[in-house]
Amino acid sequence: MTELKPLSQKQLYRACVLKDLPFRNTDALEPLNEIVGQDRAREAVRFALAMPHNGYNVYALGRSGLGKRTMMLRYLAHRQESHNPASDWCYVANYDDPRNPRVLKLPAGVGERLRHDVDRLVSRLVKVVPQAFDSDTYQSRLEDLKQRFAARQEEALNALAHEAREQGVDLSMTTPGGYRLTALNGNEPHTNESFNALSDEEKRSFEETIRDLEKKLRRVMRQIAEWEEEHAEQQQKLNEETVDHVAAHLIDELSERYSEYDGVPDHFRAMKKDIANNLDIFLEDSEDKAAFAYASMEQRLPRRYRINLLVSRQDQSVPVVVEDNPTYHNLFGFIETVTYKGTVYTDFSLIRPGSLHRANGGYLLMDATKVLEQGFVWDALKRAIRSHEISIHSLERELTLSGTISLEPEAVPLDVKLVLFGDRETWLLLQEYDPEFAELFRVTADFENEMPRTSDSQMLYAKFIASLCQDKGLLPCSKQAVARVIEYSSRLAEHQNRLSLQAVDIANVLREADFHARGNGGQGIDPEHVDQALVSADYRNGRIRDEFLQGFSDGSMLLSFSGGAVGQVNGLSVLSTGGYEFGLPNRISATCQYGDGDVIHIERDVKLSGSIHSKGVMILSAWLSSRFAREQPMPLTATLTFEQSYAEIDGDSASLGELCAIVSALAEQPVRQDIAVTGSVNQHGDVQPVGGLNEKVEGFLDACVARGDTQTKAVILPASNVQNLMLAKRVREAVREHGFQVYAVSRIEEALELMLGLAVGEPDTNGRYPADSLYGRVEERLAELRRRQDDEKSD
């Protein structure tokens, strides 16, 4: 029987060597500008953002808390080059088609200046135009036009009236613009009686005369209509001359100032023409206009001529936009409406921008899950990327059959790099179910969960801690506190030679340590503050764990911590409650009886076992058969179960304990109850690594403390898991002071000899084990069962 030695203190915990940290506190360190340990992801981002071709958008892949967004923002903050300079975007009225507002692209900063200048222009026009049309000069010229038109109209009608009177017919006005020809009886019109008294020849003569005069009257009226049109043209020309006299130089001066910008001079020319055609906008000062301006929260200026500055840049820096709520309207913009006196109004000045407008020419960062949760957003986003333009559509029109008239603004050209943050599951779903995803997001930035722990990487991690302290306004960490955080990071990584890159967990510990340091009046964060933060967090989250431990102290959890028992093993498991994990021991029991070679797994049969756990039990059955039933079937039925377990069990980390329980039951050899075991086994008897080692070992110690029995206890775990041990201080103290031991095994035989206290034995040339060995006892038990089977057959 090989003597197995327990692990040493150094193997249970890898402490940080202070000489590897040559600084006094984090104030002496230069903070990192980038996220530590993400070289692969950083290279992917660099490549994607430098690629000028389409489709090289980024999917930042990794668990939440790895600092994906922080890394992107820090990287982009130092990357200010872009394929195209940032621009201002404006919407202006389309005077030919008001439903299709035009878009203007201007250099950064020009849009705000243009809007201000146009507002000043319109403010001046609001004052000077009415004054010009109230002037004596304009009124005199307008009156002259009216008199000339009236004189021509009167002259033509008087000539026709004179001609008619000479023929005995009167021309009179009936309604404004309406005339009537009536036969005269002397100087008075004929009455019905007097006209009927005339001879037929006289009646016929009057009728012919009136018909001829009606033809001439129609010709005169057509002539008057032409003169009226000519008068209107002359009045419009007079208006244009008047407007041109007071406004042209103002508009032309502004047009000249912005002549180098595409579309702006054309807009001013159209604006000057439209002002002359819509003078009532300036001449009518109605209450309705004021009320409408108030309802839309705009200035009391003619909205038709204002500039809707959609996006304004302060400088040429590349825009970086983070959209936390990527709804359809927040991304693509929308068109507001104003309700006034029960009627809904809208115009180009009520167009509002979205995140795509603000990020145009730069980068837009979003959470992939939030994008996919919003209706219509994903398809619209892909459409915008493919078409390279942002179209503002009313989402309500897509959702309803409403025929409401709305605007259709000119599309804004789009040049943006998208960065989506998401987990691997979402990425796989998009790859599987959306064939366009791989075409549009050709670069995946795969963020690491861990990084190697070396002397150099520990120093780099110390700078990372320094950057967290600086960014979040925390007290500086002493060298000893940094070492403690590095050790905690290794525990998070569950590996002595790895460091966790879960930045959010490290930041939380530093924030809470800072809180305790300030509460104690400290000038910096020391290791005791870090320990205080960890203990406090453990206490806050450990209510469920403490309830379980209460079961060990009051005896309601049936578990033995001393002596020996046949077919009864203390297994170790990990429970999770909302992100908080803790370990607890469980009793695994096994019974063996005459049967047909099956291993009955009670949890599996009652559907309380996950597929991985069921697989582990089947591997046990295969190992037993390969070891003890190579030539003859095994006339045995073994039954396995987790005692006092009422929830689903999964994972194969209990298979080593289950196998020990079965062998104990077969050999009828007691198992030590002061030992707990965890580990997975394969068909060849090798012990394989499992997860949650630290929690399992600590959970067994906590159960022993709750029972009040901590002397000479031990835990068996896989030898390949030794590198994963970063045990809590209370476990290391129990090892040093109370004889608590941790054993590492690589073969099932090592665990059996330690737990059952009997050598497994070496087979002879016939493959038989010594009778006084553990395997020899198993063979004897199986031989006895086979003899019984043969006796039953002979009977």
Beta strands in 69-123 (DSSP E): 87-92, 102-107
First to last CA, the chain: 42
CA distances from 118 to 28, 97, 267, 277, 370 (A): 54, 21, 11, 19, 40
Tell me the H-state helices in 494-526.
Answer: 503-519
Structural contact between residues 301 and 123, judged by C-beta atoms closer than 8 angstroms: yes
Sequence letter at residue 237: K
C-alpha Rg value of the chain to the nearest Å: 47
Residue whose token pair is 């509460």: 519
Q: Can you name the residues that pair with 444 across neighbouring β-strands? A: 59
Q: List the catalytic residue out of 349, 696, 713, 773.
A: 696
Distance CA(237)–CA(635), nearest Å, equals 116
Sequence letter at residue 7: L
Closest CA to 660 of 711, 725, 587: 587
Structural contact between residues 588 and 642, judged by C-beta atoms closer than 8 angstroms: yes
Distance CA(264)–CA(259), nearest Å, equals 7
Q: List the catalytic residue out of 490, 500, 621, 653.
A: 653
Q: Is 696 designated active site?
A: yes
Q: Is 746 designated active site?
A: no
b/e burial code for range 245-272 (CB count within 10 A of at least 16 → b): ebbbebbeebbeebeebeebbebbebbb
CA distances from 433 to 373, 378, 443 (A): 15, 13, 18
The three-class DSSP label of residue 339 is strand
- Which H or E run includes 458? helix 455-471
Indicate which residues carry an active-site annotation: 653, 696
